[in-house]
């Protein structure tokens, strides 16, 4: 079934723009004002987007559900791929005995666990930035702060 998205479904550009930005506003409202958990805010914004797509843009329901599933899979695949490869790499380092080499290296750099956490956070931040830039090149100018990662590690009690 072919469906063409109307660019101005309300016949008023400003109203159409406000309706189009509503799901983004819902997720910010749910996270910042209501302090909801991320998955709850995401579900609420998804429902808002589906309702707007079906009622305002007159998108067929089955196409709206298919596009939602496509977006979920498109978003989950890179995350699952990173987790799978990280677990795979961790298991390889454990079985080959190389994890002890890494542990010994970290303990020889410094005995201070806070500095070790900072080094790990810096490496992890660099990895994340490299991964983000490979997915979204427009994010390359954004800083990936190791200090932020270090503070998060300290709050979680990893250091």
- Tell me how far apart the alpha carbons of residues 34 and 129 are, in angstroms, rounded to a whole number: 30
* pLDDT digit string (tens) for the chain, length 159 residues: 687 878 888 888 898 888 889 999 999 999 999 999 988 998 999 999 999 999 999 999 999 999 999 988 888 887 788 778 778 877 888 899 887 887 788 778 888 888 887 887 777 667 666 666 565 555 555 555 555 555 555 565 544
Report the pLDDT value the prediction gives residue 23, as an integer from 0 to 100.
Answer: 92
What's the pLDDT at 63?
Answer: 92
Going from the C-alpha of 60 to that of each of 9, 18, 21, 23, the distances in angstroms are 15, 21, 20, 19
The whole-number pLDDT of residue 151 equals 58
Cβ contacts of 113 within 8 Å, gap of 6 or more? 159
pTM of the full structure: 0.58
What is the distance between the alpha carbons of residues 54 and 156, in angstroms, rounded to a whole number? 42
The pLDDT value recorded for residue 120 is 75
> How far is Cα of residue 133 from the mean position of the Cα atoms in its chain?
13
Q: Give the per-residue pLDDT at 60.
A: 92
């Amino acid at each position: 079934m072919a469906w063409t998205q109307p660019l101005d479904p309300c016949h008023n550009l400003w109203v159409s723009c406000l309706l189009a930005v509503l799901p983004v506003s819902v997720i910010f409202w749910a996270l910042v004002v209501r302090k909801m958990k991320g998955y709850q805010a995401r579900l609420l914004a998804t429902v808002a987007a589906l309702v707007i797509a079906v009622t305002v843009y007159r998108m067929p329901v089955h196409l709206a559900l298919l596009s939602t599933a496509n977006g979920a899979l498109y978003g989950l695949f890179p995350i699952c791929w990173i987790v799978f490869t990280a677990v795979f790499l961790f298991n390889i380092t454990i079985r080959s005995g190389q994890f002890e080499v890494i542990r010994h290296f970290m303990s020889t750099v410094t005995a201070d666990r806070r500095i070790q956490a900072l080094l790990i956070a810096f490496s992890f931040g660099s990895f994340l930035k490299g991964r983000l830039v490979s997915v979204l090149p427009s994010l390359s100018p954004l800083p990936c702060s190791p200090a932020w990662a270090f503070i998060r590690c300290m709050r979680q009690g990893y250091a």
